Chains A and B, each alone.
Chain A
């Protein structure tokens, strides 16, 4: 890599040409830097697991969403997905996990641009996302639910209610719930897209929206602190006219199939031994949310 210091060699007489050369010299490492970022595996199936073992640390993309993946009051990484990641990666021979917090909508782009190695945010597996990343088998299944004002004055329980009662609908950036609302007939451009569930709660409390849609667990957790809002009972959104149960899973870059497969093997062992439920239970998960669904089923055709 060209040293940035090279610009100093021309110091005594900074003619226009030498300055130009300096700019080029500065630019060179930047370009070199770009090519270095793209360390996507080229071998078949990827060698990421070997590299992670050698480094002893795996970077997890998290979205700051309680209870899926967040930094707790002591500044420690916790949540359903990070705790599960710690357990699985320990078995895979990677000792440490390092959180990379970002917005939910930036998780897949961040993964594909190498900012972290795995998405550990309890991300729903759906066909759109399956085109961008590969998923491990889901570690939980989940219904949707709404945050509404106390007493649910508009009587909103499903996406159909939202459309029929012309309620103002909000959800999070990049959430699967956008698609469910559109499927029910809500105009996409009318959706209020907020950064996360806390902003969503705020929008409902402040009256900017009548309803915020998220996973049943997210909404249940976030309204605990609220006196003005409540969460509705979980329900299965209709996709193609049929009730659809979602499953959340870890996401990997498409080239890293070996890491994904190794992850799946350990995950299956945890499921069978009941260890998975023990890890997830402190975060509000129940037996009903354990699942045998596979990523393949959820990715669809």
Chain B
């Protein structure tokens, strides 16, 4: 097996395109999963079971089926029912929805870890429920779970190559396209492997900085 630097330079423009798509998918996927996960977690705390049960069933279903199958379904089956989304949109929604069912559990843990005294104090001050959540519970809950959420950012990054199967040309997709045209596999795959390490590491540094800020 030989290493050909010219294959690396030929691949770089494609890598840049793929990198942009990967980062887009990661950023939007993270936003959706963090937002939606919080919504699920809050809905699961509503007093009526008419909300809790359907939400519980849906999230459990999503959490217990493979992301890959969900992506195929969203991309190939939904259009038959008249809903056609672009490949990247499908991918971002798929990955965001899937991970929201994980982050939901993270938020739940965070909320349950807020000491009972905080709830009692809020009641004693007769704060309305909305204010209690926004000003007392969530700020404490979310601060606790930032490290756990950071984990999911990195996990999500490493799941973005799955979008390749629904024709999103993220980094792995570009690498494969390049490989199949030029019959060079070692260089593009190594390059994107290194790119994944760098992005994961940078993301973990950023998240650690965020944690430190929040603890202060």
Contacts and interface: CB of A to CB of B under 8 A. Distances in A.
Interface stretch (B106-114, B176-184, B195-203, B206-214): B176-184
Interface residues of A, number: 23
Given A206-B79, A208-B84, A208-B86, A195 B165 contact: yes
Contacts, number: 40
A207 B17 contact: no
Contacts of A105: 176, 180
A193 interface: yes
A203 B84 CA distance: 10
A194 B167 contact: yes
A205 interface: yes
B76 A199 contact: yes
Contact of B183 (A108, A192, A206, A207): A108
B162 interface: no
B75 to A, nearest CB: 9
Contact of B167 (A112, A128, A193): A193
B53 interface: no
B169 A193 contact: yes
Interface string A192-232: 11110001001101111000000000000000000000000
B73 interface: no
Contacts of A131: 183
A43 interface: no
Interface string B67-86: 00000000010010000101
Contacts of B61: none
Given A105-B180, A178-B181, 18 more contacts: A109-B179, A109-B180, A112-B183, A128-B181, A131-B183, A132-B183, A173-B176, A173-B177, A173-B180, A174-B181, A189-B17, A192-B167, A193-B177, A202-B76, A203-B167, A206-B79, A208-B84, A208-B86
Interface of B: 17, 76, 79, 84, 86-87, 165, 167, 169, 176-177, 179-181, 183, 185
